[in-house]
């Protein structure tokens, strides 16, 4: 199949059966750079194409009275500001170091900017920009990212179609040419019955100029079924939170995948790609069936030389070693050129046209 595509140095984005996989490390490093590098390694080992972080400062992203919107039985912090304050210790030079480590391992470095300053220091480190769902109405941030003239991924969690349209038009006006929209549901975690993966083809129909992907918050099962279903619906970019230990408490561990989950999903996606591959049939691989399971025109009784064949004298039987039933009407009315026994598989040399 042919797809619209975006070429990066490490991957061509566009084929849902060969999706661009973003391991969303986010702040699961919890401010530990050594752990951040471990997570990059494990993302690479699992088969991700990009390891993504989040670049923010608590004072620039949330006011001090910003309420929690996550499951507080899993993440007990009662305000966004307090949660962001826990994990905002990385500085530009730390992201530079992590980007260099990604380059050593052959995996793309990404980090979502949550303020305008972050856009500038991340720009030389990344092949594309990502706008978080919560910032799809953040016009200055969209404009700043789009102005860098790199592919732009925008998550659409919590958004109406008009809001998404406004974000797309804002990005285009600011210079974005390649836009990817990620279907997303802002429940942490997302219940399976609220995953709404049917929105993937809706986004594809509504925004035909954009590529479509999926950002997943469903608790993973053995093969991350939500991601499996999403690629079969056309998602060509996948993003999912990534951790080294799913049993850890905290906002982005309990619904994350680990390297084992990721590797199993990649294995399944590869199997789907193998099953779907090919736009034309390789008939050589079916030659035995074509020869032995198809049928030939076969005599239904003994016939003597010169007798005219009528429809009751023949039957279509396997194998396809004689005259094909495609020529059924042509054979009727011809004469047998020699004495032939019942069940003879007719060949063209055994029959002849009559002079009449």
Residue 319 lies in a domain: yes
Assess whether 224 and 295 both reside in one domain: no
Q: What is the pLDDT of residue 2?
A: 53
The verdict on residue 30 lying in a domain is: yes
- The C-alpha angle 32, 34, 38, rounded to 5 degrees, equals 115
Contact 50, 103 (CB under 8 A): no
Residues 239 and 193 in one domain: yes
The per-residue pLDDT for 340 is 97
Residues 121 and 144 in one domain: yes
Question: Can you give the CATH number for the domain in which 263 is found?
Answer: 3.20.20.70
**305 and 269 in one domain?**
no
Domain presence at residue 309: yes
| Number of domains forming the structure of the chain | 2
Q: How far is the C-alpha of 324 from the C-alpha of 347, rounded, in Å?
A: 9
Q: Provide the pLDDT for residue 351.
A: 97
Question: Which CATH number fits the domain that encloses residue 305?
Answer: 3.90.1210.10
316 belongs to a structural domain: yes
State which of 276, 298, 318 marks the end of a domain.
276
The list of the chain residues with pLDDT below 70 reads: 1-3, 70, 251, 279, 356
pLDDT given for residue 168 in this prediction? 98
Tell me the pTM.
0.84
Burial of 354 (0-12, 13-18, 19+ CB in 10 A): exposed
261 and 296 assigned to the same domain: no
Q: Supply the pLDDT for residue 30.
A: 84
Q: Parallel, antiparallel, or unpaired: how do β-strands 6-7 and 12-13 relate?
A: antiparallel
Ordered DSSP codes for 252-292: TTTT-B-HHHHHHHHHHHHHHHHHH--SS--GGGGHHHHHH
Mapped onto helix, strand or coil, the DSSP state of residue 173 is helix
Q: How far apart are CA 322 and CA 270, in angstroms?
A: 42
pLDDT score at 64:
79
Q: What is the pLDDT of residue 57?
A: 82
Same domain membership, residue 119 and residue 62: yes
Domain membership of residue 155 (yes or no) is yes
* Residues 35 and 152 both lie in one domain: yes
Domain match, 291 and 239 both: no
Please check whether residues 262 and 342 belong to one and the same domain.
no
DSSP 27-61: TTTTT-HHHHHHHHHHHHHHT-SEEEEEE--HHHH
Q: Are residues 188 and 81 in the same domain?
A: yes
Domain boundary among 242, 276, 310: 276
Which of 276, 296, 329 delimits the end of a domain?
Answer: 276
Let me know if residue 107 belongs to a domain.
yes
Q: Which residues pair with 308 in a beta bridge?
A: 335
Same structural domain, 222 and 324? no
* CA–CA distances in Å: residue 20 to residues 7, 83, 140, 213, 237: 11, 29, 27, 9, 5
Q: Per the domain annotation, does 149 fall within a domain?
A: yes
Is 1 inside any structural domain?
Answer: no
Residue range(s) defining the domain that contains residue 315: 284-352
How close are the terminal C-alpha atoms of the chain, in Å?
Answer: 53
Cβ-count burial of 205 within 10 angstroms (0-12 exposed, 13-18 middle, 19+ buried)?
A: exposed
Contact 19, 77 (CB under 8 A): no
- Are 131 and 34 in a shared domain? yes
């Amino acid at each position: 199949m042919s797809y619209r595509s975006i070429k990066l140095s490490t991957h061509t984005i566009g084929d849902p059966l060969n999706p661009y996989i973003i391991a969303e490390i986010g702040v699961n490093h919890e401010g530990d750079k050594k752990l951040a590098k471990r997570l990059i390694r494990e993302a690479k080992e699992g088969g991700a194409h990009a390891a993504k972080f989040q670049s923010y400062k608590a004072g620039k992203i949330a006011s001090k009275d910003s309420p929690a919107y996550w499951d507080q039985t899993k993440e007990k912090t009662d305000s966004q500001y307090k949660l962001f304050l826990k994990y905002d210790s990385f500085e530009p030079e730390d992201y530079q170091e992590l980007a260099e480590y990604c380059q050593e391992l052959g995996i793309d470095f990404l980090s979502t900017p949550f303020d305008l300053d972050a856009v500038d220091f991340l720009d030389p480190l990344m092949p594309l920009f990502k706008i978080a769902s919560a910032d799809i109405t953040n016009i200055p941030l969209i404009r700043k990212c789009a102005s860098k003239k790199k592919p732009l991924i925008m998550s659409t969690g919590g958004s109406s179609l008009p809001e998404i349209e406004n974000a797309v038009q804002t990005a285009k006006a600011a210079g974005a040419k390649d836009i990817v929209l990620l279907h997303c549901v802002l429940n942490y975690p997302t219940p399976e019955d609220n995953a709404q993966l049917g929105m993937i083809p809706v986004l594809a129909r509504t925004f035909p100029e954009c590529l479509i992907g999926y950002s997943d918050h469903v608790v993973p099962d053995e093969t991350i079924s939500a991601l499996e279903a999403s690629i079969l619906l056309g998602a060509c970019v996948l993003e999912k939170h990534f951790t080294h230990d799913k049993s850890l408490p905290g906002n982005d561990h309990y619904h994350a995948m680990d390297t084992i989950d990721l590797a199993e999903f990649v294995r399944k996606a590869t199997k789907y790609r193998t099953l779907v591959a090919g736009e034309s049939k390789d008939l050589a691989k079916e030659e035995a069936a074509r020869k032995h399971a198809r049928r030939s025109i076969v005599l239904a009784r003994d016939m003597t030389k010169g007798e005219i064949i009528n429809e009751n004298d023949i039957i279509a039987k396997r194998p396809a070693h004689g005259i094909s039933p495609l020529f059924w009407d042509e054979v009727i009315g011809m004469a047998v050129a020699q004495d032939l026994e019942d069940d003879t598989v007719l060949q063209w040399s055994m029959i002849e046209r009559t002079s009449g």
